[in-house]
Amino acid sequence: MDYYAIASVLIVLSALFGYINVKFLKLPITIGLMLITIVFTIIIVAIGQFDDTLLLREKALISQIDFKTVLLDIMLSFLLFAGALHTNFNQLKIQRWPVFVFATLGVLVSTFLVGILTFYVLQILGLDVAFIYCLLFGALISPTDPIAVLGILKKAGAPKKLETKIVGESLFNDGVGVVVFLTIFAIAAKPDAAIELNEIAKLFGQEVLGGVALGLILGYITYKLLKSIDDYEVEVIITMATVMGGSLLAHHWHLSAPLAMVTAGLIVGNDTVRKNSMSDITEIYVDKFWELVDVLLNTVLFVMIGMEMLVLTFRFDYILAGVIAIPLVLLSRYVSLWLPIKFFDKRLEFVKHTNLIMTWGGLRGGISIALALSLTPEMYRELFLVITYIIVVFSIIGQGLTVGPVIKRLSKDAD
């Protein structure tokens, strides 16, 4: 099956499942599509016990999709740019320091906590996995997924200051998390080689600082181009070229494309830049275009996540490890946020129960699955893929469905 046929099948399924969700379930699109796709896949598996024609075709379809490449190298840049474009820049500027600490120190602390706890849990379950691979799992599961968070928080009714922290952290910790993962991956791939701290620091600095710098340059160039003309059609194409061309440059220069796209999106979406560079009609078309891109890619992504369960190796000890890992990951996130929140609490007046809300509202999604898929068999790929999938499904459906009521309850208690 060629790429056009695969894309066509995914779009048709996304449209069908999206219609079912809007017509009957009325859930947030990310939750609804994932839930419907999982039910659809289970039905296909059940039918496959009598006639496996459809099951084999769906497995063939999923096996042909390079989930890691499609998400990390193609879809992620569009989704992050769209998310950053509609983020409140002024609020983010006020909350910049806690967001920065959450996205850096928080990810690192969570990575080590998850890695340590997972190592001992797997030992108890009789799964003898080296610590470095558990640490690798900690790196891939620690970043919260902006794609999942953005879609659900819009309807959760979180206080604006708190929403900015969660969304801002999710936009940036994604890029940082990928860099941390790649750094640990490089160490795990060569366990006998000497660890050069200066090489690690260089890689981290190049990816993170270089990605942000590229985003600043792209954002400024885009601003100048938009300001110099008044043609909404061409201006929409310019924003699209920023994402596509910028991503190619980031990959070519080994910089963080996610951080570059977030930075560029924040600059272009800034209210001051909008007023100086876009007419009213251009602003409407740019916003609507990127909202449509966001929704379209989200629907395809969560259909892909739901169907991914067909290629997993479900063993009892793998499933048990995944179920136990859910509270461990939540606990690690809570602890990793505790110190930064205490430090910034007095000067920025955090909303009461911020730690609880950010812990429960920090959803995991496709990025974690994509990173898990990039593991090699020697890194216990099948084990960590099952654990990651269980956490992501619980996160999107379990946390996603309850984050709204949790926010309302805790906000009411604070009042």
Question: pLDDT tens-digit profile of 184-220?
Answer: 898 888 766 655 667 777 777 888 899 999 999 999 9
The two three-digit tokens of residue 88, written as one number: 């409140």
* Strand (E) or helix (H) holding 153: helix 146-153
User: In 10 A of CB 285, how many CB atoms?
Assistant: 17
Name the residue ranges covered by the structural domains of the chain. 3-63, 67-414
Place of tokens 């100048």: 224
Specify the 3-state DSSP secondary structure of 142.
coil
Specify the 3-state DSSP secondary structure of 326.
helix
Place of tokens 């609804």: 32
Euclidean distance between CA atoms 187 and 136, whole angstroms: 10
Residue 212 has a pLDDT of 93
| Strand ranges, E, within 205-263 | none
Residue 413 has a pLDDT of 61
The four Cα atoms 173, 174, 180, 184 give a dihedral, to 10 degrees, of 140
Residue 377 has a pLDDT of 92
* 45 φψ region: left (φ > 0), alpha (ψ -120 to 50), beta (else): alpha
Specify the 3-state DSSP secondary structure of 74.
helix
Euclidean distance between CA atoms 231 and 31, whole angstroms: 37
Euclidean distance between CA atoms 412 and 23, whole angstroms: 31
User: In 10 A of CB 325, how many CB atoms?
Assistant: 24
Q: Which residues fall within 8 angstroms of residue 41, CB to CB, at 6 or more apart?
A: 58, 306, 307, 309, 310
Euclidean distance between CA atoms 306 and 18, whole angstroms: 13
The two three-digit tokens of residue 351, written as one number: 């909303």
Residue type, 312: L
Tens digit of each residue's pLDDT (9 = 90 or more) over 250-266? 999 989 999 999 999 99
Residue 78 has a pLDDT of 95
- Is 232 in contact with 279 (CB distance < 8 Å)? yes
Q: Which residues fall within 8 angstroms of residue 261, CB to CB, at 6 or more apart?
A: 76, 77, 78, 80, 81, 84, 215, 243, 246, 247
User: In 10 A of CB 363, how many CB atoms?
Assistant: 28
* Strand (E) or helix (H) holding 6: helix 3-20
Residue 350 has a pLDDT of 79
Residue 156 has a pLDDT of 65
CATH code for the structural domain at 67-414:
1.20.1530.20
| Strand ranges, E, within 61-118 | none
Per-residue pLDDT of the chain (415 residues; tens, 9 = 90+): 688 999 999 999 999 999 999 999 998 888 899 999 999 999 999 999 898 888 999 888 898 888 988 998 889 999 999 989 988 788 888 888 899 899 999 999 999 999 999 999 999 999 999 999 999 999 999 998 776 676 666 666 667 777 788 888 888 888 888 888 988 898 888 766 655 667 777 777 888 899 999 999 999 999 999 999 999 999 999 999 999 999 999 999 989 999 999 999 999 999 888 999 999 999 999 999 999 998 899 899 999 999 998 889 889 999 999 999 999 999 999 999 998 898 887 777 777 888 998 899 888 988 899 999 999 999 999 999 999 999 999 999 999 889 888 887 876 665 5
